Structure 1
Amino acid sequence: MSKLFVCTALLGLLAARPAVLRAQPAAPRPAPGDTTTRRPVGLRPGYDDVGSGDHLFFMPTARNLRRGEGYAQDLELAVLRADYGLTDHFSLGILASVIPGQGLDNIVALTPKVSVPVAGRLRVGAGSFLVGTRSGVGALTYANTTYGTADHNITLGAGYGATGQRGIFSTPLVMVGGATRLARRVALVNETYFLYDRAFLDLGKVLLVAGVAGVRVAGPRFGGGLGVFYAHGQLEDADYLNGSGSYAYPFGEFTVRFGKLQ
Structure 2
Amino acid sequence: MTNRANVLRALAWAGFCLVASPMIGIAQEEPAMETDTLYVIDLEDGSTLYGYIISRGDDALSIRTVAGLNIELEAVLVRSTTEASGRVVDGEYWSEDPNNTRLFFAPSSRPVPNGACYVGTYMILLPFVGCGIGNRFTIAGGAPVLFGELQPFYIAPKLTLIQNESFGVAVGTIAFSNWGAGLWDEDDFETIGIAFGVATFGSDDKALTTGLGFGYAGSDFASDPVLMLGGEARLSRRVKLITENYFIPTGEAIGLVMGGVRLLASNFSGDVGMLGATGAGALACCIPVINFAYRFGGRR
TM-score normalized by the length of structure 1: 0.74
Tell me how far apart the structure 1 counterparts of residues 84 and 98 of structure 2 sit (CA, whole Å).
19
Task: Quote the residue 1:208 is aligned against.
Answer: 254
Match of 1:40 among 54, 76, 83: 83
Tell me how far apart the structure 2 counterparts of residues 40 and 196 of structure 1 sit (CA, whole Å).
46
Task: Quote the residue 1:122 is aligned against.
Answer: 167
Gaps of 5+ in 2: 1-25, 39-81, 179-183
Deviation for aligned residue 1:118? 5.6
Deviation for aligned residue 1:261? 3.0
Of the two, which has the highest radius of gyration?
2
RMSD: 3.1
Tell me how far apart the structure 2 counterparts of residues 46 and 82 of structure 1 sit (CA, whole Å).
27
Tell me how far apart the structure 2 counterparts of residues 42 and 131 of structure 1 sit (CA, whole Å).
33
Closer, same or farther in 2 for the Cα pair 1:46/1:27, shift >3 Å?
closer
1:218-253 superposed Cα distances (whole Å, 9 cap, x missing partner):
11122101110111133xxxxxxxx85523112211
1:67-116 superposed Cα distances (whole Å, 9 cap, x missing partner):
01121121112211111001111110112111337x57x32111100113
Closer, same or farther in 2 for the Cα pair 1:85/1:118, shift >3 Å?
closer
Tell me how far apart the structure 2 counterparts of residues 206 and 95 of structure 1 sit (CA, whole Å).
31
Task: Quote the residue 2:147 is aligned against.
Answer: 100
Task: Spell out the pairing of 1:100-179 with structure 2 (5 A cutoff).
Answer: 100=147, 103=149, 106-117=151-162, 121-133=166-178, 134=184, 135-164=189-218, 167-179=220-232
Task: Quote the residue 1:249 is aligned against.
Answer: 287
Task: Quote the residue 1:221 is aligned against.
Answer: 267
Match of 2:112 among 51, 54, 65: 65
User: Secondary structure in 2 aligned to 1:125?
Assistant: strand
Closer, same or farther in 2 for the Cα pair 1:65/1:42, shift >3 Å?
closer
TM-score normalized by the length of structure 2: 0.65
Give the partner amino acid of 2:216. A
Task: Quote the residue 1:82 is aligned against.
Answer: 129
CA contact (8 A) 1:46 1:220 kept: no
Give the partner amino acid of 2:158. K
CA contact (8 A) 1:189 1:215 kept: yes
User: Secondary structure in 2 aligned to 1:157?
Assistant: strand
CA contact (8 A) 2:140 2:155 kept: yes
Kindly tell me the number of residue pairs found equivalent between the two proteins. 221
Tell me how far apart the structure 2 counterparts of residues 68 and 244 of structure 1 sit (CA, whole Å).
46
Closer, same or farther in 2 for the Cα pair 1:42/1:206, shift >3 Å?
closer
Identity fraction in percent? 25
Tell me how far apart the structure 1 counterparts of residues 170 and 259 of structure 2 sit (CA, whole Å).
23
Q: Taking CA–CA contacts closer than 8 Å with sequence separation of 6 or more, which of the two structures ends up with the larger relative contact order?
A: 1
Give the partner amino acid of 2:172. G
